[in-house]
Structure 1
């Protein structure tokens, strides 16, 4: 049933516009309005901008890629990372070697002469390289090449130990979040095989975007062409960075069309049969949108034309499936259908898609996410649909989005020396002068805050045991100044770092006083903590004010402790366990940390208050239903409760808490510490 049959002929166009507008509203609610998408992109961008500038030349670069980087936060989506050695560079021909100092740069030559379009062999030119690359080398025709299959196998679990191979990536799941990590190589030059793309960019993307893409080159990921002569040795060209910039260049309606195609794939196409539900993927949807926009098949991409844009893309996808050819956007000669969509499977998929096509836009009624928005217009054809994004999502929605980003983006400094911290701060100082957006400015401040806090603790730890009072005094003065400077960019929970420092330096009354003030602020009814907030009270308290004001008065986040820096002695065992398992941070729920510090400080001042803090902590850990302690933080929360109970001389209660910690999802990899504490209790128990 096509939608045209649901309206009189004179009302078809109006009905289609209303339908598109309604779907636009629905997609804004599912995918996000343009402001939310901007927050997601800009906060990741500024974080990586800082990361690139402070990374040592012999370090490993990391880039978030895929749909997460593009601005999607759809249920069930994974997060993709690309990693590459910073001092390794791929060149396209030998003449490009003159741009590098081979004394500190490993050069790799791309040799595509025997490979299918979009693939290449990588020849190692300089003997100096890292162990991983050296172990992946094979000799062919008296030349040394890096084998993609060996490299993929060796690097699969380099970031997360339990990863499994999936395409060119190591894949896995952490607390319900799926991830893909692709270890690759970077090239500073745009490949000749993709030069036709530059000439095609007449109307989209803009010349500035094209220049930026070409200037930043490409990557190579570890997977060969199944039909190529050297499948186990070949590497695939990756234009992930270029694709991200193209997605950024879309207007919001085009981005929502891309989102609609992703939903249509997941909820409609892949539900047709088990035989065909693995043939198409999100990358095919992205490629379809890219070609549809660049070929200018729809003059105006706007809310009223959203379904027209979807239909253009769907027809293009149907044509490709019929032909068995899906041309890569940058290297069209590379048919990305070649090894999947062919033969009997291709025929079955085409029949299924054609059946959907015959239904017209009514095929979208099979989408569980979109159906209700379409039905609303079908039953209310004259209903007014407001496409003003400020009415679709409120100020609170955007603040929750931003709050989530600033509280889940933090650095783990790889070394504990002051030089690294100074380098971070110098980098931030340089970035301040750049033309940053309001979100990037605040994000930069939030990235600076933990660096200042870490520097304060590093200084204290360096000079505590020197025995030189003057050095200790100066270090303490600088540390306090750092913490006060960090407080200028603070949210409510950041004051707990100051309280931690006061506790560590035996200033129990100062710490207790600060904890009392912080506790009052954390108990305000308008507090925004992670994704939880009383929307009406929040707007009454801080609505319309600057984000800096909102942070200081109404926002709190988890406490993040770098596992290689000693903040308080009571958590050293847990930090050591995490470090041993390559885990960089302890994420401690703010209310757990508050009661923990209260308990520790009041033990030196008022034992009654100390017991009251322990009671509050116990109630929180035992009875919280995910409001203040999420799944990822339950292991460390039970651990902290056990530590407090063990300190008070209640081994049975502590033993129960430690055992509960072991039953939680092992997000922080602290099991070694937990088992050690259990053994201490059992070893100290009197023998019967």
Structure 2
């Protein structure tokens, strides 16, 4: 095979530049990728420091963590018990206090490369781990297959097993969850990787990766002697740090390979479309960069980089060997790419290879960028990222991350700890994007703490304590609104409604209503020109306060509005921790509830506004995935006014919507209660 990519036009360099621009459009510029990564990193750092020993630790991994937001980008989460640690040999036990840490020994003596048995060394109080234990050769091991089944069924009844992961949906997104164990030590079987890192990545990145150890996910090798008991060594944390260390051209090459896999390779035939996956593409890029096959990864060489990776992939398929980047002896093709399937796949890839770079024309996403250059070979192409995206585009990116940022505070002690952690971050150097996320986390905490305090002091009934807590609560909520977005004022209205101060609540509802009516509002839709004209060039704090709104998020473990308790309980029973409510629905709902105690005419007007919104909105203010709770709230209001038939209709509409919030059991109970009450009349 020739060492350089074939020429499909005189200006291969020109075409690479066009592809660079196109991939920046599809995948994102380096600044957009940085916003996504930094937002996730700062959240994880705060959560990690807040979570107590013995709690479950969460880490996002996969494409989403790496910075991709492609349609097929999966959202992967890894969970592990923080009071359990895997050690590689017995001498490492001296680093742990076994009174509060359960030790597990990795025993890979009988397992294929990249896999291991996990021997339980010290007692555990974790019921799932206890149940998953099996005896072999007078030793106690944790069975991966039993543990996987137990953990998935405990979290979500509606899951499908996908490798070591449970696959499901939340808030309209597909996600994979993997329950695993963590080790603070680098596995000996991957020691050769450290010695191999001469040119890439940099030594400090290698040290950081090794210092942070690895994970063990619940799946065995199908050809191993103990498939049901074995665990796979996972380098997920190391992998996203390696992806972070890529320059933007290398990252875009990885993105191009992902698109090429989905839109070209996997479209060849049904018999081969499941043989290769995104992880193989990532592995290809890792090896290509480390082997230094392309000295300069830059926009002008993007297609050369792609071709090098494609050739390497073709070679691996021909040989039936795809070496794991960290443990090369672990052949990622061993159980799938072999025999007749391997031959068919190689022939298909070789046909694409013979077409040269013209094979990229089969990709629907990137075809236009190639054709653009073919028809305009002398067209000037600017690869300067600073002018590819406007201030508005980066605002949208930041707002998207801002809306995804949320702190789950289960109790006051955890909330207090979170505030201390955030204070420490405020005093340390941070990027602009990290400051925004810390600000959002603080807002989230300040919004939820008053409701926790109110619920606590309602139980004690001590007037002085209630008075002090109320003063603190009002201060926190107003501070949250001051540093938060427009919709954050509704939490003040909720608190005043909950504490029977209806006129005060209505004053904040009116202020919110005026701000939400601005033509430059950034919610589910935004008028780019009006937004830029109104807040362009201003500080982020000004933009967020004057022009941004988000859905209302209610932590289901906290009572915010008593009228929604059944819905929160239903969501919790279905293991959905947050109730998502469109901001305009919540606005009219609160307005209706408050005016019921002051002016029935205005209360009916608020209900009429809510009804028009729910019945006639075309997705601008009420997203399709939140129509379940929107119809539900309309039904609650109608039931409160005695309009039984309208309420029944609304509840029935709620039931047939896609249920992100998982409130069906509450809806069914409300329907039953309505039917029974009317039958007794």
Rounded to whole Å, the distance in 2 between the matches of 1:329 and 1:142 is: 35
Choose the corresponding residue for 2:30, options 28, 31, 34.
34
TM normalised by structure 1 equals 0.96
CA offsets, 1:98-129, max 9 Å, x none?
Answer: 00011111100001111111111110001224
Report the CA distance between 1:483 and its aligned residue. 1.1
Indicate the residue corresponding to 2:482 in structure 1. Answer: 488
Report the CA distance between 1:487 and its aligned residue. 2.2
Choose the corresponding residue for 1:671, options 656, 661, 664.
664
1:646 correspondence with 2:639? yes
Secondary structure, aligned partner of 2:557: coil
Aligned length: 678
Rounded to whole Å, the distance in 2 between the matches of 1:441 and 1:4 is: 47
Indicate the residue corresponding to 1:555 in structure 2. Answer: 548
Rounded to whole Å, the distance in 1 between the matches of 2:171 and 2:475 is: 38
1:68 correspondence with 2:64? yes
Indicate the residue corresponding to 1:371 in structure 2. Answer: 367
1:323 correspondence with 2:319? yes
- Contact 2:8–2:356 at 8 Å: present in 1 too? no
Report the CA distance between 1:570 and its aligned residue. 1.2
Rounded to whole Å, the distance in 2 between the matches of 1:611 and 1:336 is: 64
The residue correspondences of 1:611-650 to structure 2 (distance < 5 A) are 611-650=604-643
Choose the corresponding residue for 1:572, options 565, 569, 573.
565
- Contact 1:357–1:363 at 8 Å: present in 2 too? yes
- Contact 2:7–2:356 at 8 Å: present in 1 too? no
The 1:487/1:16 distance shift into structure 2, 3 A limit, reads: same
Indicate the residue corresponding to 1:520 in structure 2. Answer: 514
Q: Over aligned residues, Cα RMSD in angstroms?
A: 1.5
Choose the corresponding residue for 1:93, options 89, 92, 100.
89
Indicate the residue corresponding to 1:608 in structure 2. Answer: 601
Rounded to whole Å, the distance in 1 between the matches of 2:191 and 2:341 is: 33
CA offsets, 1:212-231, max 9 Å, x none?
Answer: 10000000111111221111
Report the CA distance between 1:401 and its aligned residue. 1.6
The residue correspondences of 1:145-184 to structure 2 (distance < 5 A) are 145-174=141-170, 176-184=172-180
Indicate the residue corresponding to 1:546 in structure 2. Answer: 539
- Contact 1:224–1:230 at 8 Å: present in 2 too? yes
CA offsets, 1:488-541, max 9 Å, x none?
Answer: 3210000000011111122211111111111110010000014x2100001001
Report the CA distance between 1:408 and its aligned residue. 1.8
1:662 correspondence with 2:655? yes
1:223 correspondence with 2:213? no
1:584 correspondence with 2:586? no
Report the CA distance between 1:58 and its aligned residue. 0.7
Indicate the residue corresponding to 1:252 in structure 2. Answer: 248
Indicate the residue corresponding to 2:260 in structure 1. Answer: 264
- Contact 1:175–1:631 at 8 Å: present in 2 too? no
Rounded to whole Å, the distance in 2 between the matches of 1:687 and 1:197 is: 75
Choose the corresponding residue for 2:588, options 568, 582, 595.
595
* Greater mean alpha carbon deviation, residues 167-176 or residues 662-671: 167-176
Secondary structure, aligned partner of 1:447: helix
TM normalised by structure 2 equals 0.97
Which residues of structure 1 form unaligned runs of 5+?
A: none
- Contact 1:449–1:486 at 8 Å: present in 2 too? yes
Indicate the residue corresponding to 2:279 in structure 1. Answer: 283
- Contact 2:614–2:630 at 8 Å: present in 1 too? yes
The residue correspondences of 1:125-524 to structure 2 (distance < 5 A) are 125-174=121-170, 176-413=172-409, 415=410, 417-524=411-518
Rounded to whole Å, the distance in 1 between the matches of 2:461 and 2:343 is: 80
Secondary structure, aligned partner of 2:153: coil
- Contact 1:175–1:665 at 8 Å: present in 2 too? no
Report the CA distance between 1:469 and its aligned residue. 2.4
Report the CA distance between 1:435 and its aligned residue. 2.6
The 1:282/1:686 distance shift into structure 2, 3 A limit, reads: closer
Which residues of structure 2 form unaligned runs of 5+?
A: none
Report the CA distance between 1:471 and its aligned residue. 2.1
